[in-house]
Every structure is written in C-alpha cells, then in structure tokens.
A = this chain, B = another copy of it.
Amino acid sequence: MIGHHPERDRIKLENVLTALGNPMRLAVVRVLAGGGEHACGTVLSKEISKSTLTHHWRVLRDSGVIWQRSAGREHLLSLRREDLDARFPGLLDAVLCGVDTDPETIDRYAP
C-alpha cells in the first residue's frame, strides 16, 4: 500500500464526509463503487492535472475511503466499501444514491 491508510476503527466520520464533499472525489467514488481495482489514470477526466489528482488520492486515502497500492508503474485504487459499511452503515449507499440525483455535477469529471 502507498502512504497512510487508517485502520478500520480509526476511520473518522468527519474525515470521510470531508473527503466525499467534493464533486471530483464523488466522481471517483462512483466509479470505484462498481467494484475492483482501477488504475488511477482511468477514473477521472484526462484533463485533470497530475498534482490535482495526487491531492485527491491523498484525501480519499488518508480519510479511509480508498485503498491505494502500487502495481508496477501503476497506482491502483479501490473503495474500502467493507470498512465504510461496517463503520458507518448506510452512509456510502446514501451518498451514492445522492450522487445519482445530481449527475451533471459529477459527470464533468468522468473519464
């Protein structure tokens, strides 16, 4: 794994909410919610700068929302769905449903 990933019981609600409170990061979570690991260059629009992406991966990772690991030259991302569902039951599903009510905000950042 790359960088800091909090253990399940150290995941804090306010950090998860802050991490999710951004349309780019919501766009990432919507892609990752489909399951599996995704190369980090594939989950957002190609027009977003590398430094911006790096910032968003860090926020999502440090808050406990995603796993991030190296595989060769790639960084792979996946959603910590099991941890989030265990820690804050219903939260992720409510957020994902909420995303679907306002897709135009999120679609701007789609790959």
For A, the interface residue count at a CB cutoff of 8 angstroms equals 27
Question: A22 interface residue, CB < 8 Å from B?
Answer: yes
In the complex, whether A18 has a CB less than 8 A from a CB of chain B is yes
From A16, A21, A93, name the one whose CB has the most chain B CB atoms within 10 angstroms.
Answer: A21
Is A89 interfacial (CB-CB < 8 Å)?
A: yes
A87 near B: Cβ within 8 Å? Answer: yes
Is A21 a contact partner of B26 (Cβ separation < 8 A)? no
Residues of chain B within 8 A of A23, CB atoms compared: 14
> With A12-B102, A12-B105, A105-B12 known to touch, is A17 a contact of B95 (CB < 8 Å)?
yes
Measured CB to CB, the residues of A under 8 A from B are 12-23, 26, 87-91, 93-95, 97-99, 101-102, 105
